[in-house]
Structures are given as C-alpha cells and as structure tokens.
Amino acid sequence: MKQEFDAESLKNLVVDFHDFPHTGVIFRDISPLLSEPGAFIAAAQAMASSFHQSSISKVAGIESRGFLFGPSIADILGVGFCPIRKAGKLPGNTISETYGLEYGSDTLEIQAGAITGGDRILLVDDVLATGGTLTAATRLVRTAGAVVAGVAVLIELDFLGGRGHLGALDIAAVIHY
C-alpha cells in the first residue's frame, strides 16, 4: 500500500544534526526524506501546488538541492527547467550575480538565453533561511529580463526572517521551523 505524505509526515523525515557544519547551527538533513519511497514526489507536488494557476513559464533551481526538486516541479507544472549554478560551472556565455555571505561573497550564474524577457520564473531551493541566495537569484532572473513569479522551498526557517528580504514575492514553503 502506498503511503500518503502531508507536511507533518514529510517534516518527520527530516533529521536534525546539531553543530553541523559549524557550532550553533542545526542542519536539517533531507536525505531520509529522499530515501523514503513516495516522499520525494509528495514533497515536489506540495512545493508546486501553489503555482498551478500562476502562468509559470519556467522553473529555475538553485545549486545544489534546488536541482533535486526543480526538474520534478517543472515536469509537474508542464514547463522547462533552468539551472542556477555557482560561478564557472556553466558552458558558454553566462549572466552572473554576486552576493555577500557572512564571510565573503559568492556568485550565481545562468546561461545567457536560458531565461528571456517575458518568462515567468518559479525559483526553487530546498531551504529559505536568511534569504541571501534567493535574493541574489531574484536579481539574476530580473537581470535576464524575466519576472520572478514565485518561490518554492521545501523548508523555511521562519526564525531567520528570510521571507522579509524577498519583498512581495509569492513564497510557498512545505515545512516550517
């Protein structure tokens, strides 16, 4: 018999690792969710559910765990997928966006032409924490001439306030901490 998964049962599959990767951090490990038959597709369907009527034209998944969910969500919504990668990982001409981190900076890139004016993009990542990466991805999509129509994440760490940095974007999170 196939198991049904709701947000609470998906949350129960996430394992906490305290003090990883640094002291004071609780790492939310989704590996058990990925290994449970039916849980992954249930999570992808839950992440996509708010956007069936949003006229999404493409899903853009942020490296690396946005790559896990993004293609499945794109398939569920019947649209294409575009990877957003760290600098130097994509061939050909790219569009880039550099953003600040706690200790330095990082750069996200998309291939030139992968997202174009008129596209309505659903950004996908595994976790919304402080909002830094998703804010940079939003700027990147807008630089390419497209509109960010929404954000879908598996987990939102509400106490870090990342949602507040993303303005009026439509944000869907399945699991909240």
What digits encode the pLDDT tens for the residues 33-62?
Answer: 999 999 999 999 999 999 999 999 999 999
pLDDT > 90? residue 159: yes
Per-residue pLDDT of 110-145, as tens digits, reads: 999 999 999 999 999 999 999 999 999 999 999 999
Question: Exposed e or buried b for every residue in 61-73, given b needs 16+ CB within 10 A?
Answer: bbbebbbbbbbbb
- For the domain 53-176, what is the CATH code? 3.40.50.2020
Residue 158: band (very low, low, confident or very high) from pLDDT cuts 50, 70, 90: very high
* Count of beta carbons in the 10 Å neighbourhood of residue 100: 10
**pLDDT of the residue at 109:** 98
**pLDDT of the residue at 100:** 86
* Mean pLDDT calculated for residue range 94-98: 97
Active site residues: 65, 102
**pLDDT of the residue at 103:** 73
Domain segments of the chain as ranges: 53-176
Total-model pTM: 0.95
CB 68 within 8 A of CB 84: no
**pLDDT of the residue at 2:** 66
Q: For the chain, what percent of residues have pLDDT higher than 70?
A: 98
pLDDT > 60? residue 1: no
For residue 11, CA distances in Å to 15, 33, 52, 54 come to 9, 8, 23, 26
Report d(CA 144, CA 115) in Å as an integer. Answer: 6
